[in-house]
Structures are given as structure tokens and as C-alpha cells.
Structure 1
Amino acid sequence: MPPLHIGLLGAGGIARAHLPGWLTLGARVSVHTLDGSAEKLAAEYAGRGHDVRAADDLDALLAEVTVVDVCTPTPTHRSLALAAVAAGRHVVCEKPLALTARDAQDIATAADRAGVRLHPAHVVRYFPAYAALHRAVARGDLGELAVLRLTRGGARPRWAPWFGDPAQSGGVIMDLMVHDIDIARWLAGDVVRVHARTRGAEHTTGMPPEVVTATAVLTHASGAISQVSGLWGLPDQPFRTTFRVAGADGLLQHDSTAVPGLRITARGARTAAGGIPTSPMTESPYLTELREFAASWQPGAPLPRVGARDGVEAVRIAAAAVESSRTGRVVEIEEAAR
């Protein structure tokens, strides 16, 4: 593999989860932020002997890197990803790809026309339990899927104020549940109908944060039904994920608190309840994800397990769930979108 030069946009928790992966792959990394945090992150890793530097000028960074990794707040994804695509760079972009399906599709269309790869970073596909679940479904171990139940919850994110504004974060559905929405579609196929409900105040600017819960019921074109639930809880709420997937021939279930395959590792300046999910039993899922992306850039290499359309459809379904929760009505997913 040719040497990689990564343009890492952002220096928060997700950037700190991606950076060790790129370094393990032998990349040199240029970090760009608008708030000066790039210098701190670069100095931290350069002091350990890694080839990491801060880059003040975004245009100069785009001109020299191999790949751009967008790890910035969600409202900035569209403009930064489009700038990277216009510079002819492959793009890794954290979830959600954008706040609206139209913006997500704009990024995907631009990448396709430019002949570069767009990699939505749906890292949950790389966690061992979910990867094993997908392999079992693909083999037909469960038969035709019937009902899928997926949950995800933890302390409400408070390490950055934009999480408290659903106009910027998308709220619990778009920011948190989009992971399991993607998994449900990965397992059971395209979604044609969504009904969702949210409880609790999502907007926390200038007020104490409340507990927020949401549930979305997804009807798949296959006839399978998925129930996806999310929780932003109190500061001491333990992080937990579960799934229970039933088909005509069997059932598979998993609980992250019952199986020691998941832990929370603090990264950077975060609250005591904050953290990025990792697996102590295998290599970092973020490294697995980035390695698979990087390998796909070689001629004739297989495509990674998540592609541009997956990122677009996850946003489309999550946006439909947000709309359903707002109006109380069932939202149909347009035939043209599938």
C-alpha cells in the first residue's frame, strides 16, 4: 500500500478514536481545526514520536493529503466533505453523513462524479457481536428474518454544546439511533415505512438536560419489522447496547453488559460518563474499519462492508423517524429513494 497522508478534520473524541488507527496503518496525519485544538492534539502525539502535525490552512491541507477524515460536528459534514471531494480526495466521514437525506445524497453524488470513494464511518458494523450477527444472517442461520429489536443508550452527551441543539445534532434519533437504524437495514434490507416517538426535551441550551428516549418502528421491504430504541440518560447512566434478532429458524441476542466484549475508554477531555465504545477482546473496531477502507483503494480490492448508499439511506430513515416523531404520523420512504 502506498504511504498514506491523512487530513484529519477535528480533534475531539471521534478524531482521537480514529487517529491511533491511522498511525497503526503507517500514515502520517495532518490535523486541522478552527479552535486551536489541532495544535494540542498534534503536539501530544508528536511528543510520542508519531508523524502528526497541525495544519492551519484547510486548502493547503486538501492539496497535499491522500484522504480526508471528517470528524467534526455534524452540521459541518456537508461543506467539508464536498470540499474534499472537489480536491479529488477520498473521504471518510463520521456518522451521520449529514442532517438531511438531500445533503447526504449531494455528498454521495459528488464523490461518484469525482471518481473518489466516500466512506460513511458506521463503526458498529465492525464491532465483533454485530459482525458475527451479520455473518449468521447472511449464511441463513436464522432463516427469513421476522422481528429485530436493537437498543443503544448511555449518558447524554454534554462535552460539546451542539449536542444539546437538535437542529445541529439531529437529536437522539439522528445522532445515536442512526447506528442501529443502519444495522437494521444491513440485516433486513431497505425500509419502506417508519413510525417513531420521542419522550423528553431534546433542546438543552440554557437549561438542565433531561433524559430523552426514542423508539422507531421500521417496516422493511422484506416484511421484517425492526424496533430501534435509544436513550440519552443521566450523567451516571452506563453505556449499553442490545440486540434480539428472530427469524423463521432461530434467534440471536446480545447484551453488552452481560458479555465482556465492550468497554468505555475515556479519550481526551470528557465528562466522567463520556467515552468512546471500544472492544477489549479484539483490535479496535475503528482500526478494523479504517484498514478495510484503506485496503479498498487498491486496484481490484473488494469494497468495504459499508458504502456511500448505506450512509445516505441511514440518514434518510433517521430523518423520516425524526419527522414521524414530530408529527405523530407514519412516514413512507419514497420508492425512488430505494
Structure 2
Amino acid sequence: MPGESAPPRVGLIGAGAIAAAHLDAWQALGAECVISSRTRPTALAERFGAEIAEDADALIDRVDIVGILAPTPTHLNLALRAIARGRHVVCEKPLALTSAEAQRMADAADAAGVRLLPAHVVRYFAAYRRIQQAVVAGGIGALQTLRLSRAGAGPTTAWFYDENAGGGLIRDLLIHDIDQALWLAGTVTSVSARQDPPSIDGRLSAPVTATVELTHANGVTSRIDGGWLGEGTPFRTTIEAVGTAGALAHDSAAEAGGTARASSVDADTGYLPPQTEDHPYRAQIADFAEAIRTGRPALVTPADGVAAVAVVDAAYASLAAGGAPIPV
């Protein structure tokens, strides 16, 4: 990264719905942005005044930080190419297709002396951060149970519904809440999962819902429910943390006056965590930029990204085993 007063040079690979949030966040820091996509992202580049690189390698050559926003199966290869050239990396969740691949990414970044941020943006939402801080401070006594949910209109791109191609409701959507459960309650020892309807040869049909139940090493249990539902379904998330001395809860619909809040950056984000006034996407990128500048850890570490994917691995193993608990 350039000197403290120079703007970072950032390249984003991928121009899907989440790209607008990343561009907005980096430009809020004064970054010079370049984007690359399999289809030339002219409209997105014009909207944000960004340049377009001819391909991923040309982009990596021009920047200090690479944001990987492309489909999950591409994450490992793109990250390793960027890391090999000494670039810091922000990688959208899930970090990789499997925990073994995610660990390979983390090890490569560590060996190269560059930073890797798994983009688990929900940690930067103020309401979730307040609950985590209160739990850590003992505000509800010893944590006993967690309930989390996340649902909305399903994505319109076909690969999201193909578990064999890196998609899947649990892998792509519920990983947000899996990361929250790990953040709040720590290491997971076993996972069970159910999905309705089940996938057929790895392909999902919408609408689809799933439940993932976690047992943590400290005895806490977490239940995570989610769904990709019908077109126009408002995006809504909830969290409830129950302890021996009280409970804390948040409902995004209640915060928004009874309806889901649309993104202020990009309106076509039905399945994405929406923007709120506390600008979580900007907070995420600002945290990473400051971590690079100072050498301190970011709020989300590579190990956090690996751990979340390991739980996802176990959840899919549980689905294949008819919902039986799978050790992590």
C-alpha cells in the first residue's frame, strides 16, 4: 500500500450486485479503483468513474489491493495469483469452496506477508456489533443459546442454485450467520442441517429454506434459519442471544419500521445484506485499510474465514447424511 497520504490503488474482480458496495466503500477512502469482469462492466465503471482492466492479471499488475467479488469457485485461483504478486486481498464470502482451500489461501497470504480479509460484512453492522460486545462483556450472563435468521428474494443468477458449482443456500447466504455464531459463541464441535426442498444432483429449486444447528465447545447451541424466497420478498434478518441473566435481540424489519431496508448503493440486492445508516460496507473496508496501515488485525481474520467454511463443509455433509450431526 502506498504511503499514508497517498490514496490506495484498488482493483475489483467481478461486477455483480456486491461490486457497487465495494466501489462505494473504497471511493469513500479516496481510492483509485479499477475493475475487471468476464463481461466488460461499462455501466458500473461509468457510474463510479472507475477504469476497466482488460483482464484479472492486468488488474493485479496495476494495484496494491485486490477485491475478489467473482463467483466462489474462482476465489482460490484469483487469490493465489494476487498474493503471489504481493497484493493484499479482500475476498467475498465464502472464502473458498472448502475449508482446505480456504486454509491454503490463508497460508499463502501469511507466507507472502500480505493481508487477507474474508468479507463477512455482518460483523460491521452496528446492531450485531452491539450484541457481540454486550455478550463478551457479560451483559446477559453466560450465553446459552443463539437464534439467527436471514431470508429474502433469491438471487437471479443460475450458479447460486448449483451446489456443485460453488453455490448453495447454506454456503452463500447462511454463512453470514454461521460467522456470527462463531463470533459470539466460539468453536463449533458438531453441525446438523436440513434443507427444504433438498437439492437434486446438487441443484436447488426456489423457493428453498434451510436450518443449520450448531453445538459449540462451550455448550452453547445455535440455530440458523434462512431462505431464498419468492421474487419481491423483503430482505430480513433477526438475531436473539439468550444468556443466564437476560437476552438481546435485533430484527432488521423492526429497525426499518416494519419493512426490509433497501440498499442505498445498489437497488438490485435482494439476497444481500442491505446498507444501513451506519455504512457497514464502508466500515469493513476502512477497517481493512487501517489494518494494513498499522499492522493490527482486522475485525475478521483469515482464520475466521476458514472456520466459517469448515462449518459449511460439515453442514453439507449433514445434508448428505440425512441431517445427522457431523463433527467439525
* Gap change, CA 1:228 and 1:303, over 3 Å in 2: same
| Distance in 2 (alpha carbons) for counterparts of 1:237 and 1:204 | 27
Deviations 1:107-154 (A, max 9, x none): 111111111111000000011110111110111111211111101111
Please say if 1:42 is aligned against 2:45.
Answer: yes
Aligned partner (choices 3, 18, 25) of residue 14 of structure 1: 18
Amino acid at match of 1:308: P
Separation of aligned partners in 1, 2:182 and 2:97 = 18
Match of 1:66 in 2: 64
Q: Which residue of 1 aligns with 2:158?
A: 161
Contact conserved, 1:192 with 1:220, CA < 8 A, in 2? yes
| TM value normalised by structure 1 | 0.90
Q: Is the Cα–Cα contact under 8 Å of residues 266 and 275 in structure 1 kept in the other structure?
A: no
Distance 1:96 1:257 in 2: 25
1:53 to 47, 51, 54: 51
- Aligned twin of 2:79: 81
Structure 2 unaligned spans of 5+: none
Equivalent residues in 2 for 1:47-196 (5 A)?
Answer: 52-158=50-156, 160-196=157-193
* Equivalent residue, structure 2, for 1:211: 207
- Find the residue that maps to 2:139 and give its secondary structure: coil
Q: Check whether the contact 2:24–2:265 (CA below 8 A) recurs between aligned residues.
A: no
Residue identity matched to 1:83? R
Is 1:231 the counterpart of 2:231? The answer is: no
2:9 aligned residue: 5
Report SS of the residue matched to 2:10: strand
Amino acid at match of 1:141: G
How many angstroms apart in 2 are the aligned matches of 1:256 and 1:62?
A: 37
Alignment of 1:241-260 (within 5 A): 241-260=237-256
Match of 2:283 among 285, 288, 295: 288
Cα offset, 1:161, TM superposition? 1.6
Please name the residue that 2:298 is paired with.
Answer: 304
Q: Which amino acid aligns with 1:24?
A: A
> Does the CA-based 8 Å contact 1:171-1:202 persist in structure 2?
no
The alpha-carbon deviation at position 279 of structure 1 amounts to 4.0
Q: Does structure 1 residue 321 correspond to structure 2 residue 315?
A: yes
C-alpha distance in structure 2 between counterparts of 1:65 and 1:90, whole Å? 9
1:278 shift after superposition: 3.0
Residue 205 of structure 1: how far off its partner (Å): 10
How many Å apart are 1:176 and its aligned residue?
0.6
Q: In the alignment, which residue of structure 2 is the partner of 1:25?
A: 29
Where 2:105 maps in the other structure, the secondary structure is helix
